[in-house]
Amino acid sequence: MPEIWPKNKPIMISASSPIRDWLTFSGKELFSRRCFSFRGASGIDGTLSIALGIALIKDPLLLVTGDLSFLHDINGWFNQDAKHINLKILLIDNHGGNIFNRLYKNNLTKLEIENLFLMKSSVNWKKLAEAHEIPYVNILSLDKLKEAFDWSLSIQKSVIMRVEINTDYEFKQRENLYKYIFDNH
């Protein structure tokens, strides 16, 4: 993402997994661009509203957010001008609270994590976007991310670009990536 989102355009990274991943995997790009983040009282509250506010003055702004953070502040869309603000949302749909799979994997069983922390939801993101009159695209492959970014920049208002994450696959890939980083640096 840091290599394909235009370097002269700012990014906001939501709390939880997105900011941790940005800090871990962005390399030198981390310090070469305007980047915002915000941690509310519970970590995720206010994400959409803050991003809309920043996008008013830093147009366009890319918000990278998980599904749970996005839903937690969905009422931010009720501002009558929100859909006209040039906010590009990269929605990481890992079906809610996936960070807890990583944080507690060695201390709790999978069932305990599911019962205590995961907040699985079955949101129809396309219909949610339509209800708020926000253009929407579902990204089926990370190879299509650059294309989705270009599409979003061609529209001078808010858009949602959703990437659905297979959490089991993501967990295995993340472990492989950490191993590679630690073994080679």
What pLDDT, on the 0 to 100 scale, is given for residue 41? 59
Does a structural domain hold residue 3? no
d(CA 82, CA 181): 40
Q: Could you state, in chain order, the average pLDDT of each consecutive group of 10 residues for the chain (185 residues)?
A: 87 78 72 76 76 91 89 82 92 75 68 69 89 94 92 96 80 76 77
Please check whether residue 162 is in contact with residue 93, taking contact to mean a CB–CB distance below 8 angstroms.
Answer: yes
Say what the pLDDT of residue 127 is.
Answer: 95
| Residue 2 in domain | no
Please report, as a single letter, which amino acid is at residue 30: L
The domain that holds 171 is classified in CATH as 3.40.50.970
What per-residue confidence (pLDDT) applies to 98? 63
Q: Is residue 124 part of a domain?
A: yes
pLDDT of residue 157: 94
Q: Does residue 1 fall inside a structural domain?
A: no
Q: Is 44 in a helix, a strand, or coil?
A: coil
What does the pLDDT read at residue 53?
92
Q: What pLDDT, on the 0 to 100 scale, is given for residue 117?
A: 67
Helix (H, G, I), strand (E, B) or coil at 3: coil
Predicted pLDDT of residue 100: 62
Q: Helices (DSSP H) in the chain: which residue ranges? A: 17-25, 47-57, 67-72, 99-103, 110-116, 125-131, 145-153, 167-184
* Domain-located, residue 98: yes
Dihedral sign for Cα atoms in the order 147, 149, 155, 161: positive
Q: What is the pLDDT of residue 89?
A: 96
Domain assignment present for residue 162? The answer is yes
Q: CA-CA distances (angstroms) from residue 40 to 16, 19, 122?
A: 11, 13, 25
Dist. CA 152–CA 90, nearest whole Å: 10
Asked if residue 130 is part of any domain, the answer here is yes
Number of domains in the chain: 1
Residue 105 has what pLDDT?
A: 67
Whether 5 maps to a domain, the answer reads no
pLDDT for residue 45 = 73
Residue 74: which domain range?
11-179
